[in-house]
Amino acid sequence: MSLRHDHELDARTRRLLRSLIAQYLVDGEPVGSRTLSRSSGLDVSPATIRNIMADLEEAGLVASPHTSAGRIPTPRGLRLFVDSLIELQPLPHEELARLQRELPPGQASTRDLLGNASTLLSAMTHFAGVVTVPRQADFPLRHIDFVPLPNAQVLVILVFSDNQVQNRVVQLAKPLDGRELEQAANYINTHFVGLRVDDIRAHLLAELRAAGSELNRLVASATELATASFAPQAGGEDVLVSGQTNLMGYAELADLQRLRELFEAFQQKNELLQLMEVCARAPGVRLFIGEESGFAALDGCSVVTASYGVQGRVLGAVGVIGPTRMAYERVIPVVQATAGLLSDALNRAATAS
């Protein structure tokens, strides 16, 4: 038998491959034919199993490390396992209760909530927990105030739906007095609370264009202030990482050079943030095994993520980074549940505001 494509595996071969991978994920050791014969529950001889394993090795789904008689799954084999052989189980009640207890709505700030999620993911999986922090401008505006400063400057106080307060100092072309600033703030608070700052700026600019020669001074002042106050700011996105040192305990990642590259990636965050942004753009769970992430520092790792958001709009992603030998059937439900509860907490906070 020659396996040219993964979908050509018959039921017996798939069962053996599932048993081999399940055994390997538990103890990390190459799995021999006799062990596989017992664990699979199939009434086949070790010789038959060896022949099937040889075909799986030829197909690139398993490999023989060194001179061992046993075999381990390759990244391609793990991918097939996750995509079509894994049997996911619901998250145990006690673990779900722990997540619900430690990710409640109404915390001091969204960043605190995201930090808790990162820490929880690390504690529950014993891997590194990662959570992206969205730009503050991705949250709806709750209130705005303007305070006059010398030299045509204005202090802008922004209160967002997640209770975060942000102060910005903007420079205007000419000064506005306290009454004009109050009128502009009242106009924005009356008409645009509940919208994101990018949307507010777009609405005001549209109103300004529609006014034409009948330029309304109040709209003009509000537009000038909003354009300056809500101008896109460089950066703002971040990724929170917890439990990096957990990875030092796994033999697969024990190489000092690999650990150094991995910890540098955690420290610099640029590549990690890029990867998490890619994950956030896709619904549901995303999984990268080994080289699939496209980042050399993560070649020996698996990354499991799920997106979270508020009011139907994706804000970021949560996930874990660990060795490719992880209990996917347990890790995936933990990540899914965390993303769902994080979205619930943010939605409740937005509704309450």
Counting other chains too, the contacts that 12-16 makes at CB distance below 8 Å and 24 or more residues apart are: 12/42, 12/44, 12/52, 13/52, 13/55, 13/56, 14/84, 14/85, 15/40, 15/42, 16/40, 16/42, 16/49, 16/52, 16/53, 16/56
How high is the pLDDT of residue 213?
A: 43
How many angstroms separate the CA atoms of 16 and 3, rounded?
14
Of all residues in the chain, what percent carry a pLDDT higher than 90?
33
Q: What is the pLDDT of residues 118-173, one digit of tens each?
A: 999 999 999 999 999 887 777 788 899 999 999 989 999 988 877 778 888 988 88
- Higher confidence at residue 276 or residue 107? 276
Where is mean pLDDT largest: 40-44, 68-72, 277-281, 287-291?
A: 287-291
Lowest mean pLDDT among 20-24, 53-57, 103-107: 103-107
pLDDT digits (tens, 9 = 90+) for 98-132: 998 888 766 557 888 899 999 999 999 999 999 99
Percent over 70 (pLDDT), the chain = 90
Residue 32 has pLDDT above 60, yes or no: yes
pLDDT tier for residue 302 given thresholds of 50, 70 and 90 = very high
pLDDT in tens, 202-216: 887 777 776 654 446
CA distance 350 to 107: 12
Which residues share a beta bridge with 239?
132
Q: What is the pLDDT of residue 237?
A: 64
Q: Measured between alpha carbons, how far is 350 from 344 in angstroms, rounded to an integer? A: 10
69 pLDDT higher than 80: no
Mean pLDDT of 297-302: 90
Which pLDDT does position 226 carry in this prediction?
Answer: 79
* Whole-number average pLDDT of the chain: 85
How far apart are the two ends of the chain, measured CA to CA in Å?
64
Residues 6+ positions from 221 with CB-CB distance below 8 Å: 176, 180, 183, 184
3 state DSSP class of 263: helix
Angle (nearest 5°) at CA 343 between 338 and 345: 95
Cα–Cα distance list, 252 to 191, 245, 296, 301, 308 (Å)? 57, 14, 15, 9, 30
The answer to whether 285 and 306 are in contact (CB under 8 A) is yes
* C-alpha distances out from residue 197 to 20, 194, 203, 325, Å: 53, 9, 10, 44
pLDDT, average across residues 67-78: 85
pLDDT over 90 at 220, yes or no: no
Tell me, rounded to whole angstroms, the distance of Cα 26 from its chain centroid.
Answer: 26
- On whether the CB atoms of residues 321 and 127 are closer than 8 A, the answer is yes
- pLDDT band at 97, cuts 50/70/90? very high
Lowest average pLDDT, out of 66-80, 201-215, 248-262, 302-316, goes to 201-215
Question: What pTM did the predictor assign?
Answer: 0.78
What was the pLDDT predicted at 249? 86
Average pLDDT over every residue of 345-353: 72
Note the pLDDT of residue 326.
Answer: 93
- Look up tokens 């100092």; give the residue: 169
What pLDDT shows up at residue 341?
A: 92
